[in-house]
Amino acid sequence: MAGSSGSVKGVVPLHIHASADGGDRASPLPLGRLREPPLSRVSSFLSDAQDSPSIAVRLSEPIWSGWAHIALLVHSAQLHTLLERETVGVSSARHLSEVCASRPRVQKVLEALYVDAGQLHPGATSPMVLLEETGLSSTCPLLAHYLGDPDKVYRDDHVPVVRESLEHIATLDQLYWIASQLRNDVSEGRHKYAAHKIALLYHAINTSKLCRDHLRKRIEEHFEDIKEATETAESPTLPTPLVEWIVTLCDEVHQLVLEVPDSMRNKLAPSAQYLARFS
């Protein structure tokens, strides 16, 4: 069956094509077609520079440029807090340029604030336009005083200022983590300092004012029992019912904090309204 060329009789190799006159010529299949011109020209953008699509180079732009409104809020709060420190115990406030000259941190955050404002309001010469439009001038009235009209009162008694909001959030955070630590300790058999940590929890409840009357009564139910049980031995072990009671108490504290109490909602209302403008 095999011929002298080693081919199977009646089968023409892919790289050879038998012509009508018996001669051989290069076959267009399959490699030959790669040398033939295309049937139609789909697009010229790869070969013609004038037809190439334009590409904006953004290597120097912030990755999170879409979060400029978050950055504006954060930098406004930071500047307000820094300027509060500057004015404590001072009869007359210095000009902002003097503050920046002596406080590089203020200068750095102020520059970042201008960048934020430029992204959100191109062409704006001052962040004050955005501060007033979004209500941040009431949340950060001291910052507005420095950037805006020094004779205008930006403080609104119905709007919590930055410090009030941050302090309240901090007290709730402290309450949550004291409860977490106490729960972990008693669950893992570390009972020696349980009474001390319950006292810390009691103090955190007073400071945060979260369901204060209810939670204080809950603690007062068994505090003396726990104190007595942990002071009678070098390595005390609480009875199971008391351990279960502490775990239940801590879980209740966690739930109350995670439900976002009305006090937090009220403190954060201005920030929520600000963020809603960009959602």
Please state, in angstroms and rounded to a whole number, the distance separating the CA atoms of residues 129 and 148: 9
- Side chain identity at 58, as an amino acid letter? R
- Side chain identity at 214, as an amino acid letter? H
Please state, in angstroms and rounded to a whole number, the distance separating the CA atoms of residues 146 and 32: 77
Q: What are phi and psi of 93, to 5 degrees?
A: -75, 145
Pull the structure tokens for residue 182.
């106490």
Q: What are 16's strand-pairing partners? A: 26
| Lowest mean pLDDT segment, chosen from 90-94, 111-115, 124-128, 205-209 | 90-94
Q: What are 17's strand-pairing partners? A: 25
Nearest alpha-carbon partner for 110 in 93, 127, 129: 127
87: pLDDT confidence band, cut at 50, 70 and 90? confident
Answer for the pair 9, 1: CB distance below 8 angstroms, yes or no: yes
147 alpha-carbon distance from chain centroid:
27
What does the mean pLDDT of the chain come to?
A: 80
| pLDDT (tens digit per residue) in 17-62 | 444 455 545 445 454 554 555 555 544 544 554 544 455 555 554 4
Nearest alpha-carbon partner for 258 in 173, 166, 162, 164: 173
Q: What are 8's strand-pairing partners? A: 2
The string of DSSP letters for 47-104 reads T-GGGSPP----TTS-TTGGGHHHHHHHHHHHHHHHHHHHHTT-SSPPPHHHHHHH-H
Q: What are phi and psi of 9, to 5 degrees?
A: -60, 130
Does residue 2 have a pLDDT over 50? no
- For the chain, which domains are there? 65-147 (no CATH), 162-266 (1.20.120)
